[in-house]
Chains A and B, each alone.
Chain A
Amino acid sequence: MAGVLAQQLAYVTAIDARFGRGLADALVAAGATLTDSLERVDVLVIADIDSVERPVEAFDDDAIDMAWDRPVRDALTLMQAARAGGASRVIVVTPAVSLVGRARLSAACAAIEAKRLMALSAARQWRAHGVTVNCLATSLDPHPESIAPTVVFLASPASHYLTGATLSLDGGSELAL
C-alpha cells in the first residue's frame, strides 16, 4: 500500500526510546522510508522529551549543559541540517509543561520552550519556501499511539497550510494553551 507518505524520507530522533520508535513506525506504516541521514530528507521529527528534574540550586555547569543547552543546540543543528537537506515538514515535540512551568523542571522547561520558539521563528522564515514547522504540546510521557496519527497528518501534504502552530495534544489533561 502506497500511503499518504509514499516516497517521503523521514528522520526521527530519539528512535531508541519507545516514543520515538512508535512515531517512526507510524510514519513507515503510512508509507514513509526512514533515513538516518539529513543530507536528503523530507520530514524531520524531533521527538526527544526533556525532563531533567532538580532544584535550580543543584545545577552545576555539566547539568546546565545536559538539561538546557545541549537539547536546544541539537535541535538547532537538526533543523538547520533538515532545511539544507530539503525537508518540507519539521515536527517538534514540546511537552505542554513548558507553557505553565513546573517546580524542579526549570531548565527542562526552558529547553522545551526554546525549541518551541525556535520552531515558530523558523516557521515564519521558511513559509516562503514551502517548509512547515509545527509543535506538539504533549504530556511528559506521551504514548506514541496517541500522538502518531497527528504526526502522520503533519508530515503529509494535507497539512500544507498549517505552520507555526503548537497543537495541544494531551487528551485535554493540561489545556495550557
Chain B
Amino acid sequence: MTAALVTGAGQGVGRGVALALAGAGFGVVVAARRAENGEPVAQEIRDRGGRAVCVPTDVTVRDDVVAAVAVARTEFGGLDVMVHNAFSGRNSPYQLEEATLPDWDRASRSAMWASIYCAQAASDALAASGRGRYILVSSAAGVEGSANLPLYAAVKAAQRAFAKSLAREWGERGVTVNCIAPVAVTPALETAFKTNPALRGRLEGRTPLGRLGDPEADIGSVVAFLASEAAGFVTGQTIACDGGSFTGL
C-alpha cells in the first residue's frame, strides 16, 4: 500500500495533485482547512474507484499536521509522499512598503512554518517508506521575484532553499525533496478572470504552449512522476510545469 498526503487539497492545484496521485494508485489523505472543500475531493476520488479520506487540517497548527499524518498511518498503513501545497496570503498586487506584519505572518506561516511542520510530522514515515518523497509547491516568482506579490516571492523562494537543504539532509535515508513551480487555472484565477477578462489572454500570451495548465492533467501528473519510482534519483530540484512561461531556471 502506498499513501500520499496533500495539503490545500480542497481546491485548485492541491485538488489536481490529489486526484492525480489517487489515479496513480496512492491512497490519499485530502488535507483541507475546511471539510466542505476537502470532502467532495475525497468523494470524487472514491467515486473513481480510488482510496481517499478527508482530514480537516490547518497547516499552520502543528497538531493538525501531526494528526493528518496519523490518519495516513491508520487508514493506509504509512506515508510515502508528502505534498505541501497550501498557501494563504495577499493575492492582489501591493507594494512592499504597504505590506503589513499580519500579511507577512499569513504568508510565512502557511508557506514556511507549514513546510517545517509537514517535514517534521512526515519525517519518520517517509524514512520508513524506503521510497519517501516530500514535494513542495513553490513558484517561479521565487526565482525571478515579483513586482506584484513581493512577500509571495519571498516565501516561495524560501521553500526552494528549504527543499534544497532538506534534500541534502534526508538524502542518506533515501527520501527525495523537490519543488514544482506550476501555472494552472484555479478557482482563484477564474475569479480574477471574471473581474479582469483581459488577464487570461495576457497570461496565455506569455506562455509558449498558449494555454494555462490543468491542475490534474498538467500539474498533478508532474507530481505523480516525482512520486513514482522513475523519479527516485531526482532530488533538490524545482520542476516548472507552466507551459514554458518561465525559462530562467
**A55 proximal to B (CB < 8 A):** yes
Give per-residue flags for A100-126: 1 if the beta carbon is below 8 A from chain B beta carbons, else 0: 111111110111111111101111111
Whether A106 lies near B157 (C-beta < 8 A) is no
Residues in chain A near residue B120, CB distance under 8 A: 56-57, 59
A59 partner, pick from B116, B147, B165, B236, beta carbons under 8 A: B116
Please judge, given known A-B contacts A68-B112, A76-B104, A110-B112, whether A121 and B158 are in contact too, CB under 8 Å: no
User: Contact size class for A?
Assistant: 35 or more
Indicate if the CB atoms of A80 and B153 lie closer than 8 Å. no
Contact of A69 with B by CB under 8 A: yes
A80–B165 contact, CB under 8 A? no
B154 contacts across to A, CB distance below 8 A: 72, 114-115, 117-118, 121
Q: Does B20 contact A (CB under 8 A)?
A: no
Q: Which residue of B lies closest to A105 (CB)?
A: B165
Q: Total interface residues on B, using CB and 8 Å?
A: 43
User: Could you say which of A105, A109, A118 has the most chain B C-beta atoms within 10 Å of its C-beta?
Assistant: A118
B contact residues around A115 at 8 Å (CB): 154
Asked whether any CB of chain B lies closer than 8 Å to the CB of A84, the reply is yes
Chain B interface mostly helix, strand, loop or mixed? Answer: helix
CB <8 Å contact, B157 and A116: yes
**A83–B97 CA distance with the chains assembled, in angstroms:** 7
Query: Do A120 and B153 touch (CB < 8 A)?
Result: yes
Q: A72-B108, A73-B104, A117-B157 are contacts. A102–B116 as well, Cβ < 8 Å?
A: no
B153 CB contacts on chain A under 8 angstroms: 117-118, 120-121
Contact B119 A56 (CB under 8 A): yes
Identify the closest chain A residue to B168 (Cβ).
A103
List chain A residues, Cβ under 8 A from B165.
101-106, 109-110
CB within 8 A of B168: which of A59, A99, A102? A102
Q: Cβ of A132 < 8 Å from any Cβ of B?
A: no
Which residues of A are interface residues toward B (Cβ below 8 A)? Answer: 55-57, 59, 61, 64, 68-69, 72-73, 76-77, 79-80, 83-84, 98-107, 109-118, 120-126, 164
A56-B169, A109-B161, A126-B96 known; 15 new pairs, CB 8 Å cut-off, are: A59-B120, A68-B158, A72-B158, A79-B96, A80-B96, A101-B163, A101-B166, A101-B168, A109-B162, A121-B96, A121-B145, A121-B150, A121-B153, A121-B154, A124-B145
Name 15 interchain pairs, CB-CB below 8 A, sorted by A: A57-B120, A69-B108, A69-B112, A73-B104, A77-B101, A83-B96, A101-B165, A103-B165, A109-B162, A114-B161, A115-B154, A117-B142, A117-B157, A121-B147, A124-B145
